[in-house]
Chain A
Amino acid sequence: MTSTAAPLLESDAVVRKFAGMTAVDQVSINLRQGDLLGIIGPNGAGKTTLFNLLTGQLRPNSGHVRFRGEDITGLSVHQRVRLGLGRTFQVVRPLPDLSVLENTMMGAFLKHRRRSDAEDKAYQVLEEVGLAAVAKDRAGDLPLARRKRLEVARALATEPAVLLLDEVMAGLNPTEIGHAVDLFKDLHEKGMTLVLIEHNLKVVRTLSRHVVVLDHGAVLAEGTPTEVLQHPDVVRAYLGNRR
């Protein structure tokens, strides 16, 4: 259901270098309202760097990032979150000493000044992601799969226009991945725009209709998962160094 609306989030030839090594090289992506974009690539392809350029963790050496047509290249992380860019971290970082509810409230405070309103919103999100039963548990005591889910809850509580997920499946077992895939399908069907940075090809294939493949920092191929996965360069880049 890719709409023909104006782009929601785009990167325009972004370049990011680290000490002479080009981690992201002239990458342009284009995300529309309601999209579920998968960004895949082997380790070191520049996925997380691209992710950080989109969220504002890093600034590009050249190129632009636009949100709803507005140039946000110079905006910091919290300013982008306030515009509607939600994100999760690859390494989960809930606030361990706080409860699951409090963690989620952190996100909810963005749109709700009052504590009771933030709490209501947080409960609603926890309900949505299936964590309501453990709302009062200490976040640090949750198993990994639930901590990852909490990351998603915290980002969702900011009521983002687009949710950027950095390897949310990493470290999960197949059953847990199944549950997570269901959650993202569900969110997408409710109209959420998602960007999925993934190493796991199977996950991307089941979720995304549009995939961008990165290798050595550049876009290697782009299209539907089936097209892309048959692309000889992709097979070479992706599987070649694994088999």
Chain B
Amino acid sequence: MSTSEDAVDAQDAAIHGVRSGATTKSSRFVWTGYAAGMAGLLLLLLAVQGDAYWLNILILTLLFAGLASAWNIIGGFGGQLSLGHGVFFAIGAYTVGITYDRYGWSPWAAMVVAMPIAMTVAALTSWPTFRLRGPFFAMATLALNQVALVLATYFGSVTGGVQGITLPFSPSLRDLAFVERWKYAVVMLAFVALTVAVATVISRSKLGYALRAVREDDEAAAAVGFNVFAVKMQGMLISAALTCLGGSLFAVFVRYIDPASVLGLPEVGVRMVLIALLGGIGTLMGPVVGSLLFIPGITLLQGELAGQRPGLNLVAVGLALVIIPIALRRGIVGTAAELFRSARGRWKR
């Protein structure tokens, strides 16, 4: 009996670990899943490292897996659908770009400086916007992104304006610039490993439960003693810091940043949200799965369709993004977990 109960516990851990946090005491299963996921990404890296085209796609896939995972902390667990995360991404990218180009700072140092800046901006902008709920919050954060876009374009003396900033290329670990492109993939993999680990720890902690309580019903959350505002703020600050880190890594990888590439909604701020939605909002591995499909998919479509009719690839992406949320309301991972759970329920009966 005890073995079969263990098996059921393990299944429960799998379901809850993936879907909404965990209910069983064994954290072994969740972390085994985490290790397996990261090992899978490493194998992928090894498989494509000799192919410059696919390596490039993988690097961006990993970056966006990390970004979607960072967004998921406040957007998925906490249910605060921020469309303004591009701002934190841009702070990371511009801090690295400006300090490297003008003052020759190491990007490592710039990252450390950028994160508190992003967190401060997150605190100041969330202060008023957390009073808004649902679509109103989403619209307000969307507006913040657009304000940042205007500011980044207007203050050309700082940001380089529409001309952007080019980061001089001098390969070294200090400068996070590599001749061997696979090293960027390793950096991005480390970023995914970090963001998913943080998300996993949070989802199983008091903060993770509090965020979910706030997402489902903020009055009920307050009625069990959670300070709704403080809970949202904590989730937002962690999410903003990780997003900012992703922006810094983007800058050292592409070595050129301008307002459109870091504050463009389809390129960054909305893209990370769509990836999380596709993979499974509020799940731990959803953002990774979503990115593995989205980034290669959009790149291939661009190659295949853009040559035939300009913009045709975007039409295809748009269609997919309308259909997928309808067909898979909880995203790929969420829907899979639900099917697995109901199959198990039927089998038990």
List the interface of chain A (C-beta within 8 A of B): 55, 57, 76-78, 81-82, 87, 89, 93-99, 101-102, 105-107, 109-110, 113, 115-116, 118-119, 136, 154-155, 157-158
Cβ contact within 8 Å between B210 and A76: no
Could you tell me the distance between the alpha carbons of A77 and B222 in the complex, rounded to whole angstroms?
6
Q: In this assembly, does B175 line the interface, its C-beta being within 8 Å of a C-beta of chain A?
A: no
Q: In the complex, how many angstroms separate the beta carbon of A204 from the nearest chain B beta carbon?
A: 23
The listed residue with most B CB atoms (<10 A of its CB), out of A102, A118, A154, is A102
Which of A55, A78, A94, A109 lies in contact with B209, CB distance below 8 A?
A109
With A78-B222, A101-B23, A109-B226 known, 6 other A-B pairs at CB within 8 A are A77-B219, A93-B217, A98-B216, A102-B16, A106-B209, A157-B224
User: How many A-B pairs with Cβ below 8 Å?
Assistant: 83
For chain B, the count of residues having a C-beta within 8 Å of the partner chain is: 26
Interface 1/0 per residue, B179-208 and A, CB below 8 Å: 000000000000000000000000011100
**How many Å lie between the Cα of A154 and that of B12 in the bound state?**
21
Contact: B212 with A81, CB < 8 Å? no
Q: Does B291 contact A (CB under 8 A)?
A: no
Closest CB in chain B relative to A131 CB, distance in Å: 14
Residue numbers in B under 8 Å from A87 (CB-CB) = 223
A105, closest chain B residue (CB): B209
Give every chain A residue within 8 A of B224 (Cβ-Cβ): 81, 106-107, 109-110, 154-155, 157-158
Task: Kindly report which residue of chain A lies nearest to residue B226, judged by CB atoms.
Answer: A78
Q: Are B12 and A136 in contact (CB under 8 A)?
A: yes
Q: Mark B3-14, 1 if CB is under 8 A from A, else 0.
A: 000000000100
In the complex, chain B residues whose CB is within 8 Å of the CB of A77: 219, 222-223
CB-nearest residue of chain B to A139: B216
Known: A93-B220, A95-B216, A107-B224. A119 touches B209 (CB 8 A): no
- Assess whether B126 is interfacial by the CB under 8 Å rule: no
CB of B16 within 8 A of CB of A106, answer no
**Identity of the chain B residue whose Cβ is nearest the Cβ of A113 in the assembled complex:** B206
> Given that A78-B228, A116-B25, A119-B25 are contacting pairs, would A95 and B223 also be in contact in the complex, using a CB cutoff of 8 Å?
no
Q: Contacts of A154 on B, CB cut-off 8 Å?
A: 220, 224
**Within the assembled complex, what's the spacing in Å between the Cα atoms of A158 and B227?**
14
Question: Nearest 10 A-B pairs (CB), nearest first?
Answer: A81-B225, A95-B216, A110-B225, A77-B222, A107-B224, A78-B222, A93-B220, A109-B206, A106-B224, A78-B227
The complex places the Cα of A101 from the Cα of B212 at a distance, in Å, of 14
Is A98 within 8 A of B223, CB to CB? no
Residue-wise, chain B 118-146 has the 8 Å CB interface mask toward A (1 for contact) of 00000000000000000000000000000
Residue on B nearest A108 in the bound complex, by CB = B224
State A158–B12 Cα separation when bound (angstroms).
25
| Docked-complex contact A98 and B212, CB < 8 angstroms | yes
- Least Cβ–Cβ distance between B7 and chain A, in angstroms: 14
- Distance (whole angstroms) from the CB of B329 to the closest CB of chain A: 12
Q: Can you name the residue of chain B whose Cβ is closest to the Cβ of A109?
A: B206
B252 within 8 A of A: no
With an 8 A cutoff between CB atoms, is B213 at the interface?
yes
Residues of A within 8 A of B212 (CB): 95, 98, 102
Residues of the B chain whose Cβ atoms lie less than 8 Å from the Cβ of A110 = 224-225
Closest chain A residue to B213, Cβ basis: A106
- A residues in contact with B239, CB < 8 Å: none
Given A106-B213, A116-B25, A119-B25, does the pair A97, B20 have CB atoms closer than 8 Å?
yes
A114's closest neighbor in chain B, by CB?
A: B206
A115 adjacent to B216 (CB under 8 Å):
no
Q: Are B23 and A97 in contact (CB under 8 A)?
A: no
Does B290 reach chain A (CB closer than 8 Å)?
no
Q: How close is B31's CB to chain A, nearest CB, in angstroms?
A: 14
Could you list some 14 contacts between A and B, CB below 8 A? A78-B228, A81-B222, A81-B223, A82-B225, A95-B213, A95-B216, A97-B216, A102-B21, A106-B209, A106-B210, A106-B224, A109-B210, A118-B206, A136-B23
In the complex, B221 has a CB within 8 A of chain A? yes
* B204-A115 in contact (CB<8A): yes
Chain B residues with CB under 8 Å of A107's CB are 224-225
- Kindly identify which residue among A89, A94, A99 contacts B23, using a CB–CB cutoff of 8 Å: A99
Contacts of B227 in A (CB 8 A): 78
Q: What is the minimal beta-carbon distance from A166 to any residue of chain B, in angstroms? A: 11
Q: Which residues of A contact B25 (CB under 8 A)?
A: 116, 119
A103 to chain B, nearest CB (A): 9
Residues of A within 8 A of B12 (CB): 136
Report yes or no: A99 in contact with B222, Cβ–Cβ below 8 A: no
CA distance A102 to B23 in the complex (A): 7
**B234 CB → nearest A CB, Å:** 14
Nearest to A138 among chain B residues (CB) is B341
- Chain A hits for B222, CB < 8 A: 76-78, 81
Nearest CB of chain B from residue A109's CB, rounded to whole Å = 5
Least Cβ–Cβ distance between B222 and chain A, in angstroms: 4
Using Cβ atoms and an 8 Å threshold, which residues of chain B touch A98? 20, 212, 216
Q: Tell whether, in the assembled complex, residue A95 and residue B226 are in contact, meaning their CB atoms are under 8 Å apart.
A: no
A158 to B217: give the CA distance in the assembly, Å.
17
Contact of B220 among A95, A101, A116 (CB under 8 A): A95
Report A212 CB to chain B, min CB distance, Å: 23
Task: Give Cα A57 to B221, complex, Å.
Answer: 13
Complex interface residues of chain B between 256 and 302 (CB less than 8 A to chain A): none
Name B217's contact: one of A55, A81, A95, A105 (CB within 8 Å): A95
> How far apart are the CA atoms of A24 and B265 in the complex, in Å?
50
With CB as the reference atom, state the residue of chain A lying closest to B282: A97
Provide the bound-state CA to CA distance between A168 and B217, in Å: 19
